[in-house]
Structure 1
Amino acid sequence: MTTFLQLHLLTPYPPSNPNRDDQGRPKAAMLGGAQRLRLSSQSVKRALRMSPAFQMGLKGHLGDRTKLLGEVVRDHLVKQGQEPAEARKVAEAVAVAFGKMEAPPKDQPLEARQTTLAFVSPQERGFALELAEKLAAGAKAPPEKELRQTVLRSADGAVDIAMFGRMLADAKEFSREAAVQVSHAITTHAALAEDDWFSAVDDLKTREDDSGAGHLGEHAFGSGVYYLYACVNCDLLVENLAGDRELAARGLEALAEALATATPRGKQNSHAHHPRAMFIRAEVGPQAPRDLTGAFFTPVKGADLLAASVTALDGMAEKLDRAYGPCHEAVEVMDVTAGQGTLSGIKSFARAAVERVAHA
């Protein structure tokens, strides 16, 4: 039976614009017939990967999403004394394992870049550099299929790849199914973006006959209490990490901390938004996972939107448990306003989920 760890979070954001659309406005969504502000799952996952919880807690076990692995290989060979032109040829021969290479711009030398982003683990990066050194020393490049088998892995110690998965269109056998699903965060209540008109003063403008602002502009922002849901297939996480249960447990601790503390950083210098989750409900068990978004199809209202959101979330969990049977075997709650629980307790609860995964 599969063990699922589910995390439900409520986080209040001040006026801010952490995740913008193509017009620079806060992203939005309709839910229950009401406009909500939204943070895309992609922006949240990047914030998790870039958070101190991941970068410090999982150092050495994180991948890179990049088109530039070829340039990394090329620069590595150049530092070892290889001629730049030859280093580039070798880099292109190795980097193709991660995806097709860009066509050369007209009348310009080809840079060693893939056409699409590849999620590359530290182990795979090391294998690519080792192979490049052998080719630079005169070894013959292996056929494409053998090349991929030499460099790529379907499971290793990259926690973020194990969690969030990857797609390699040209080497599907080395794609990885995500062990962690992360929702789009939406406000629990109706919320609209606001527009701010601003001006900036020219410090060196001193003539009285040249008064007025040195710059005029507009900026959009919004605020609200966001609901975020994440679901972890703990069995798949361990499998994606080549059976390393201790690393999987560390990964879940980092994930729990990052979900509570990390945020997309759009316009952060303008708004200084550094929110913390005020309510976390963590659940574990073999039951089929379910999110609690239904708690907010009717937008919460009132003078205390956070308290109303907590009440709605708990109420929906109780209703689903009553209708479908228990949706978990154990629950841990952190409620900052009520003085209940701690982030340390949530992290320990998340870590312990790995102990429920059956040994192969």
Structure 2
Amino acid sequence: MSRFIQLHLLVSYPPSNLNRDDTGRPKTAIVGDANRLRISSQSLKRAWRTSDEFISALPGTKDEMLGKRTKQIGAEWIYKGLIDGGVDEESARKWSRDIIRAYGAPEGDKDDGSDKALNSGQLVHVSPAEINKLIAFIKDLSAWIKNGTANDVVDAVADLIKKRDKASDKKKGNSTLSKALADILLVKDSTATDIALFGRMLASVPSYGFEAAVQVAHAITIHKVAVEDDYFTAVDDLNNGDEDSGSAHIGEAGFGAGVFYLYVCINRELLQSNLGDDAELTKQSLHALVNAATKVSPTGKQNSFASRAYAAYVLAEKGDQQPRSLAQAFLKPVTGADMLERAVKELTKRVTNFDTVYGKCAEARESFNVETGEGSLEKLITFIGE
């Protein structure tokens, strides 16, 4: 089994605003002394992992295979679970702010009575197995609080909270509590497919983090671009124009178009380790990733631009050699009407030159090219899974 899989994709987007900056305009970057459109890796990964194309390639439902990334564990699962279990509101809020420490410190220093105060201060990605463990624990805790039902695990947690409350060093007490709760509610050995691929970081209990098996570069256009403005108006359907024939709304929206280069590096050994050494699930996870990466576009402004696109060209490489991006191929902006064809030539040339200078940079390669009708997604997926 090859350790690394690398994907090099070319995707052509029509006028779009797939990934906006803080002013609402398309994100950009200066590359090779030229302005390029940019799509962040965060935008791409979220679009992929939440897509139907991703889950359709996995051997189970979304609730079985994928995690939930949220700050609202405390309010949605802990507090509501305790209330549903018959626990009074005051006790439910107090316990929620302590149990949430398995995932990170609660929002704010004190409980101000809001849902926000019950939640974690950081986004937490939890797997289906961890959600089920939390639900089961909350049921046991509810019975312990309401009915005095004996439970050794809950007793241990309650003792730690008492010790923390009496301790002079509350920070140390909370750290001990966080680790104990993590041992009860989190898992280390295997996890959800999306967490296995893209990783997670837990600041309070780093030992329960997962290193990402997939690295995704920010996509950039292979050519220079100028961000343009769409001036638009909206008409009031009930305005007959007798008194005012003007528009009901006027606005502007930035957009750009271009051919993007996207680089993805996958550590297959790490992915299989994250998935509990399940070779078949690893293969299916790779299938899901490639299926989504080649077909799914970020969701930004899709209703305004319908800028959905499939990859026009993909080169896949396998091997144990140190990975490298082929972004160098586009330091000099590509020009001309045959832009996609020239981009493929530039990529191919860069691959050959890397092999010449450094020695063979991959043990095997497979590609498809929509422009020429060569290859297929099915063959590419088979190649990656072998």
Sort the TM-score into its range (normalised by shorter chain). over 0.9
Q: Tell me the SS of whatever aligns to 1:217.
A: strand
**Aligned partners of 1:344, 1:76: CA distance in 2, in Å?**
44
Q: Tell me the SS of whatever aligns to 2:270.
A: helix
Q: Which amino acid in structure 2 is aligned with residue 97 of structure 1? A: A
Question: Do structure 1's residue 347 and structure 2's residue 381 form an aligned pair?
Answer: yes
Sequence identity percentage? 45
Contact kept? 2:107, 2:121, Cα under 8 Å:
yes
Q: Which amino acid in structure 1 is aligned with residue 142 of structure 2? A: A
Corresponding residue for residue 281 of structure 1: 315
Q: Deviations over 1:182-220 (max 9, x none)?
A: 000000111121111111111122243322111111111
Question: Do structure 1's residue 90 and structure 2's residue 95 form an aligned pair?
Answer: yes
**Aligned partners of 1:324, 1:114: CA distance in 2, in Å?**
47
**Aligned partners of 1:250, 1:85: CA distance in 2, in Å?**
46
Q: Report the CA distance between 1:85 and its aligned residue.
A: 4.0
Corresponding residue for residue 13 of structure 1: 13
User: For 2:65, which of 61, 67, 77 is the aligned residue?
Assistant: 61
User: For 1:101, which of 90, 94, 106 is the aligned residue?
Assistant: 106
Q: Deviations over 1:29-75 (max 9, x none)?
A: 01100110000000001011111122333331211111011122322
What is the TM-score when the length of structure 2 is the normalising length?
A: 0.87
Note closer, same or farther for the CA distance 1:109–1:255 as it changes in structure 2 (3 Å cut). Answer: closer
Q: Deviations over 1:94-121 (max 9, x none)?
A: 2210001012778534542111101111
Q: What is the Cα-based RMSD across aligned positions, in Å?
A: 1.8
**Aligned partners of 1:212, 1:147: CA distance in 2, in Å?**
62
**Aligned partners of 2:87, 2:246: CA distance in 1, in Å?**
58
Corresponding residue for residue 164 of structure 1: 198
> Of Structure 1 and Structure 2, which has the larger fraction of its residues in helix?
2
**Aligned partners of 1:49, 1:155: CA distance in 2, in Å?**
21
**Aligned partners of 2:195, 2:86: CA distance in 1, in Å?**
33
Q: Report the CA distance between 1:155 and its aligned residue.
A: 3.1
Structure 1: tracts of 5 or more residues without a match: 353-360
Q: Report the CA distance between 1:166 and its aligned residue.
A: 1.1
Q: Tell me the SS of whatever aligns to 1:263.
A: coil
Note closer, same or farther for the CA distance 1:84–1:304 as it changes in structure 2 (3 Å cut). Answer: farther
Contact kept? 1:283, 1:329, Cα under 8 Å:
yes
Q: Deviations over 1:133-182 (max 9, x none)?
A: 22222132524122111112223131111111111111111111111000
**Aligned partners of 1:32, 1:147: CA distance in 2, in Å?**
50
Q: Tell me the SS of whatever aligns to 1:209.
A: coil
Number of residue equivalences: 352
**Aligned partners of 1:205, 1:69: CA distance in 2, in Å?**
47
Q: Which has the larger radius of gyration?
A: 2
Note closer, same or farther for the CA distance 1:24–1:284 as it changes in structure 2 (3 Å cut). Answer: same
Question: Do structure 1's residue 113 and structure 2's residue 119 form an aligned pair?
Answer: yes
